[in-house]
Amino acid sequence: MSPSSKQTTEPDNIRVRIYRFDPETDREPRYESYEVPRTPRMRIMDVLDYIHEIKEVDFGYRWLCGTKKCGTCAVNVNGSPKLACWEEAEQEMTIEPLSNLPLVRDLVTSRDPFEAFLAKLSPLLVRRRDYPGFPEPLSEQIMAPTVHLRDCIQCLACQSACPVLQQPDSGFAGPALLVALSELAQDPRDEADRARLADEVAQVFKCVSCYECERVCPTEIPIVSEAIQPLKRLVYRRGEAAAARRAHAFLDVVKARGRAEAAPIALKTKGISLNALRLALRLMRRGKLSLVDVFPKRPSPGMEAMRKTYQSDGDAK
Amino acid sequence: MKWRYAYFPGCSAKGTCRELDLSTHAVAALFDVELEELENPGCTGAREFRAVSEQLHLTANGRILALAEREGCDLVAVCDTCLLNLTETNRRLKADRAARDAVNRALASEGLAFKGEREVKHFLWVMTEDLGEERLKERVVRPLRGLKVAPFYGCHIQRPSTVYGAGAAGEAPALDRLCRLLGGEVVEYPGASKCCGFHVVSVEERIAVRMSGGHLSNAKSNGAQCIVTPCPLCHTVFDAYQPSIEREFRSKYEVPVLHVSQLAGLAFGLSAAAVALSRHVVGCESVLAHIGYGAAQAAASVR
């Protein structure tokens, strides 16, 4: 059936554009437009079902539970990832597959790269010592830090919204994988080297802290503060990672100079490179950086007081 | 009417973006806004203190808040990331007694205490909310003549929603309204509320350059004559790294990047020198020429 020919134009109809592309048969993606009569409390999923069942359009979309549990129905709606079974249909919608995942066809993306990456993170509790067996008493204390993380349904909306994953070959795991890793890393029963996995495999320090993942998370997990920050702290405590060295250098410079100055932090972290020199010259030419900025500074009494306060918290460890 | 705030410029505005500090003071002076700069305030820790320890993050930010309370006024920041650190800590310490006590134990040696009496604001909001749009409009003596401005808000002035609320999206953001009342035309482009990538620039520069490069190229192809941002970290990526962006994308953009206080200052009649427009990697001659400087005068003003 031709998508745009037979359309009723009721003012209350929902107008939908659906992304269509089958990489095996189509040369390029296209959009098909439909009008769907609005019913009370209509969800995005109801709109997709209507087009599929009533209008008899054969297109690919995916769902399983329809109740915000299985995490398979997330799609991009007007550019932002949404759980189709849970969000209300908007009056005008452009519905596209999630970003940053390979396309199977139409609205269906492949979860394979996600599952493969998850497997590299040793996604089960690793326990080497004897433990009491089941049922094992679990205290609130053990479960409290990760209680929100366990709401993750792995719908991959956050992976789709992550701007770092948009960059080809970033090497970054992305928010959903960091949630999975962090849940284990914060479990006192776990004995795997989660700091190494967080740093070297998941590359947690490539997170830009933009909070896009939190914006789109259908289960409202505080991903940055409760999953990613604890992983960064774990890597920091381990101390070897380059990113941990940077956090250390940052703190040292604030304590020595009263504030975070770009040049000394860069020098301490990365040393001198051609690229850094090029940037430094560029900044010096416009008065944004001066040589004085890299010489040691005599601390004032006020700075001394600040430093003592910072240290009173045992900042270094 | 007089306004008085404790002022925390942050590390960028005192370092590589001194033009932000200078232009903020210059604009404040036009409106009888008194900015009491805090002495030895330290640092909000960017994203680094949080990666060291939660307690250090709270203490460093609690200390700045306590210094502001000692001044007896609300705290003004000019950097999105400082704003988020301070706002988040302020909320947390007001609500969480154990965290507040721990911070106050650390502050006691300096005779400081966090009491939870004050609010944190961005200087942009001081302009649009406290001074108010009417008062700003009256002060516009050199309107921007339809200058096509691409606003770039930065993440930490709008996200996470647990700090800023989720409803802000419906209303035209403060920065858009400000640009319009200054006589500029707001460029619509897909990058305005996205991330510049600053916080990954020292980990892997190429990621940041590619992220910001995408927004820059979008802004440019939608007609932007300049970018304006309330955050010196975004400014740094778009301005100081613009030559790197151009190399990566093999294109010439040459889009000037202005701090909010610079763009507003120009429209309020301040000279290019008063808003320190010469301290940019990407020259701002084209902006000055558009708003009525002669070409020679524009070139001279930013050298």
Residue B263: which of B152, B106, B99, B103 has the closest Cα?
Answer: B152
Nearest CA in chain B to A308: B109
Q: What is the reported pLDDT for B174?
A: 93
> CB A164 to CB B46 under 8 A?
no
Q: Which of B110, B205, B279 sits opposite A309 (nearest CB)?
A: B110
Could you give the residue range(s) of every CATH 1.10.1060.10 domain in chain A? 112-128+140-236
Residues whose CB is less than 8 angstroms from the CB of residue B68 and which lie 6 or more positions away in sequence, other chains included: B6, B8, B38, B74, B75, B118
CATH class of A112-128+140-236: mainly alpha
Among the residue ranges A283-292, A307-316, B140-149, B203-212, the one predicted with the least confidence is A307-316
Q: How confident is the model at residue A317 (pLDDT cuts 50, 70, 90)?
A: very low
Q: Compute the distance between CA of residue A42 and CA of residue A47 in angstroms, rounded to an integer.
A: 7
> E-assigned strands of A100-254?
103-105, 108-109
Q: Which tens digit of pLDDT belongs to each residue from A56-95?
A: 999 999 999 999 999 999 999 999 999 999 999 999 999 9
Chain A interface includes B168 (CB < 8 A):
no
> CB B160 to CB A214 under 8 A?
yes
> CB A211 to CB B53 under 8 A?
no
Element (H, E) at A51: none
pTM of the model: 0.94
Q: Which tens digit of pLDDT belongs to each residue from A131-174?
A: 877 788 888 888 899 999 999 999 999 999 999 999 989 999 99
CATH class of A14-108: alpha beta
> CB A259 to CB B11 under 8 A?
yes
Residue A316 in this model has a pLDDT that exceeds 50:
no
Q: What percent of chain A has pLDDT over 90?
A: 66
Residue A315 in this model has a pLDDT that exceeds 70:
no
Give A 147-206 residues with CB within 8 A of chain B.
163-164, 166-167, 170, 205-206
Angle at the Cα of B54 from the Cα atoms of B53 and B56, rounded to 5 degrees: 65
CA distance A10 to chain B (A): 26
Q: Compute the distance between CA of residue B121 and CA of residue B162 in angstroms, rounded to an integer.
A: 16
Q: Is the bond preceding residue B160 a cis peptide, omega within 30 degrees?
A: yes
Q: Compute the distance between CA of residue A256 and CA of residue A294 in angstroms, rounded to an integer.
A: 12
Quickly count: other Cβ atoms within 10 Å of residue B269's Cβ: 12
Q: How confident is the model at residue A239 (pLDDT cuts 50, 70, 90)?
A: confident
Half-sphere CA count of B96, side-chain side, radius 13 A: 12
Q: Which of A224, A286, A293 sits opposite B279 (nearest CB)?
A: A286
Compute the CA torsion angle A140, A145, A147, A151 (nearest 10 deg).
-160
Residue B169 in this model has a pLDDT that exceeds 80:
no
Could you give the residue range(s) of every CATH 3.10.20.30 domain in chain A? 14-108
Sheet holding B75-77, edge to edge: B33-37, B3-8, B75-77, B120-122
Q: What is the mean pLDDT of residues A294-316?
A: 76
Q: Is B258 helix (H, G, I), strand (E, B) or coil?
A: strand
ipTM associated with this complex: 0.94
Q: How confident is the model at residue B70 (pLDDT cuts 50, 70, 90)?
A: very high
CB of A30 closer than 8 Å to CB of A20: yes
